[in-house]
Structure 1
Amino acid sequence: MESVKISVVSPIYGCKECLFELYDRLVKTLSQITENFEIILVNDACPQASWERIVMLCAKDSRVKGINLSRNFGQHYAITAGLDYAKGDWVVVMDCDLQDRPEEIIKLYNKALDGYDIVFGRRAERQDSFFKQLGSKAFNKVLEYFTETKHDNSIANFGIYAQKVVETINRYREHSRDFLLFAKMVGFKKTEIDIEHASRAYGQSSYNLTKLIRLAIDSIVSHSNKPLRLSIQLGFFIALASLIYAGWLVIRYFFYHTPAEGWTSLMVSMFFMFGLLFAIIGITGLYIGKIFDEVKRRPLYIIQETINL
C-alpha cells in the first residue's frame, strides 16, 4: 500500500452546513497533487450534529477519517487529536469554515517543494469584520510583548507542515495548547506566502472577546515568565521610590523642621500597595495553577469514536 502523501486536519465546530462543500473542494484540490491523501475531520462536540455528516462522508470515501471527541475540548486540542493520527508526508492544518480556501493548498505545497519544512499562509486581505480584526491585532500585540516573539496578525493555523515537524509538535504535551506558537517554536526551515482569504459563509466564530482574553492570558502564562519578571522590577521600583521619599521626609524634618503629615496620602499609598501585592500574588497563582494542571497528567483529549482509522 502506497504511503499517504498529504493529510488535511480540520477541527469541526459550528460548520455543519459547509462540510459537504469542504469535502468536495478538498478532494478536487488534493487530486491535482496526488490520489494518496487523507482528510481528518475532528468533531469537537459540535452542537449542530456535524458528526452525522462526517459519518456520511466517511462511508462515501475511505480517505475521509472521522474523530469524534467526547466533549468540547477546544480548537487547539482538536487539532492535536488530528495531528496524532495524521500519516501524510505533508500535513495541512485548516479551519472548516472555508475562510481558509482549499484551493490555496496547491500554492502551499508547491512552495514547500522548494525546500521548506513549514509554509504558513499569509492572509494578504483578511475578510473578517473590523472588530474581529481589531481583537486579533490586540491579542497578537499583547502576546508579542510578553512572549518576546514576532506575531503576524495575517498568519493563522492554515499552512503545510512536513511530517517531521508534526512529530516534533506532537511531543509537546502540555495542557496549554497553541498550535501556531508550537509551529514557530520548533524551528525548522519555514517561510510564508500570500494566500486568498474568503469571507465567512457559514456559522459564526466561536472566539468572542472573553475567549480571546482568556486565550491571551493562558498563552502568556504558558510561554513566558515575563509577568513575573515585571512584578520583580515593579517591586524594586516601588521600594526605591519609597526609600527616596523616606529620605526626603528625613531631610525635611531635620533641616526644615517640617514633620511628616497626611493620613490621606498614607491611606492611598497603603491601598495602592495592597492592590499591587494582590495582583502579584494573583500572577504567581496563575503560574502555580499551570504547574498543578500539568502534574495531574490528564489526557489532552478523549475520543468517543473514530471511523476509517
Structure 2
Amino acid sequence: MPTLSIVVPCYFNEANIPVTAHELIANEALFPPEVAFEYVMVDDGSRDGTLQQLLLFQAAHPDKVRVVELAGNVGSYNAIVAGMEYATGDCLAIITADMQDPPELMVQMYDYWKKGLKLIIGNRQDREETGIQKLFSNAFHALMKRIALPNIPDGGFDFVFFDRQVSEEILRIKERNSNIFYLMVWLGYPYVNIPYVRRKRKLGKSRWTLQKKVKLLIDSIMAFSFFPIRAISVLGILLGLSALFYGIYLAVLRTIGDIQVEGWTGLMVVMLFVAAFQMIALGIIGEYVWRGLDATRKRPLYVVRQVHGQQKEAQNLPD
C-alpha cells in the first residue's frame, strides 16, 4: 500500500486552512483505494490563527495529519524542507495552502509516478491573476530558463509530485538561499510536466511581498547560474578595450598637438560610470561571498518548536 505525503507550507493562512483541509480530504476519493494519505502541515511562524486551525485539522484526522510548528518564520522553501523531513510517504507532493493549485491534478501525477517517473511537475500554463503579479512571474521564469536552467518548463511551477528518492537527495543537500523546485530539476531525473491554469486567490492576503520576490530572483540566479560573474568579466573586458582605444586616440591627439584642455565633463562621466561599474561588480561578488559564508556557518534552515501528531519514523537519512 503506497503512502502519499502531501506537504503544505502555511503562513498567515488562518482563513484558508478550513477550505484547504476540506478540499484535500475530498480529493482522496479520486485516488485508487489502495493509496494511504499523510498530510504534513508546516506552520512557518504565523502570528495569526493559522496554527489553531491546523490543530483543529489534526484533531479531526489524527491518523493522517501531522503539524510541524516552526519556532519562527524561515520562508516557504525552508518550511517545505522541514515538511519533507517529517514526511514518511513513498511519494510526496507539495501544494500551497491557498488552493490556487488544483489538488485533483495529483491523481494524474500519481499515475505517472506509478509508471516509474521520479518527478512530476504541474507548471502554470496561465494564471487567473492579472497585472504586476503575472508580469513578474512570467519575466522571472523566462529569465531563469534563459540563463540558468534551460530544461525547466515554461510558466514556472511550485506544484510538484516526486518520489522519496528525490526527497532524500534534497534533504541530503539542504542547500541554503536556493530555489527548492529548481533544485529538483537540477538533480537530473527525467520528469513530465502537466500544464494547468493557476486559480485566483479567493481567501486571505498573499504574503509573497516584492522583497521576497526580489530575494528569490537573486537566490535563484546565484544558485544556478554563473551569468552575473561572466557578465562582469565581459563588461570589464569591453570597458578595458574602450579605455585602450580612447588612450590611443588621446596619444595621437597629443602627438599632433591637437589636444584641448576642455573635457572635464566627459572625464567626470567616464569616472562616474567606471565607479558605478566597480560598485555593482563588488556587490555581485559580495553576494556570492556571503552565500559561501552562510553555507560554512552550517546554521539550521529551521528550528522546530513542536510536532503535533504522529511521531516521525526513522528514515536513515544521510548526515
Range with greater deviation from structure 2 (147-156 or 50-59)? 147-156
For 1:68, the equivalent position in structure 2 comes to 69
**Unpaired stretches in structure 2, ≥5 consecutive residues:** 312-319
Q: Is the contact between residue 176 and residue 222 of structure 1 (CA under 8 Å) also seen in structure 2? A: yes
TM-score (norm 1): 0.93
Aligned-partner residue type, residue 109 of structure 1:
Y
RMSD: 1.8
Residues 1:111 and 1:78: Cα distance change in structure 2 (over 3 Å): same
Structure-2 separation of matches of 1:22 and 1:95: 9
1:189-235 Cα distance to aligned partner (Å, 9 max, x none)? 20111335322111122223232112211222232222112111111
**Unpaired stretches in structure 1, ≥5 consecutive residues:** none
Structure-2 separation of matches of 1:35 and 1:181: 28
Aligned-partner residue type, residue 22 of structure 2:
D
Instruction: State the aligned residue count.
Output: 306
SS at match of 1:228: helix
Residues 1:197 and 1:278: Cα distance change in structure 2 (over 3 Å): closer
For 1:281, the equivalent position in structure 2 comes to 282
Q: Is the contact between residue 138 and residue 156 of structure 2 (CA under 8 Å) also seen in structure 1? A: no
For 2:158, the equivalent position in structure 1 comes to 157
Q: Is the contact between residue 120 and residue 155 of structure 1 (CA under 8 Å) also seen in structure 2? A: no
The sequence identity of aligned pairs, in percent, is 26
Residues 1:204 and 1:151: Cα distance change in structure 2 (over 3 Å): farther
1:61-95 Cα distance to aligned partner (Å, 9 max, x none)? 12001000001111101100001111111101000
Structure-2 separation of matches of 1:175 and 1:264: 46
Q: Is the contact between residue 146 and residue 227 of structure 1 (CA under 8 Å) also seen in structure 2? A: no
1:228-266 Cα distance to aligned partner (Å, 9 max, x none)? 121111111111111111112222332x43125412211
For 2:12, the equivalent position in structure 1 comes to 14
For 1:54, the equivalent position in structure 2 comes to 54
TM-score (norm 2): 0.90
For 1:184, the equivalent position in structure 2 comes to 185
Structure-2 separation of matches of 1:215 and 1:184: 17
Query: Residues 1-309 of structure 1: matches in 2 within 5 Å?
Result: 5-31=3-29, 32-33=31-32, 34-61=34-61, 62-254=63-255, 256-261=256-261, 262-308=263-309, 309=311
Structure-1 separation of matches of 2:278 and 2:124: 42
Structure-2 separation of matches of 1:67 and 1:156: 24
Structure-2 separation of matches of 1:295 and 1:85: 25
Range with greater deviation from structure 2 (86-95 or 186-195)? 186-195
Range with greater deviation from structure 2 (274-283 or 219-228)? 219-228
Q: Is the contact between residue 43 and residue 67 of structure 2 (CA under 8 Å) also seen in structure 1? A: yes
Structure-1 separation of matches of 2:124 and 2:265: 54
Residues 1:196 and 1:239: Cα distance change in structure 2 (over 3 Å): closer
Per-residue deviation, 1:150:
4.4
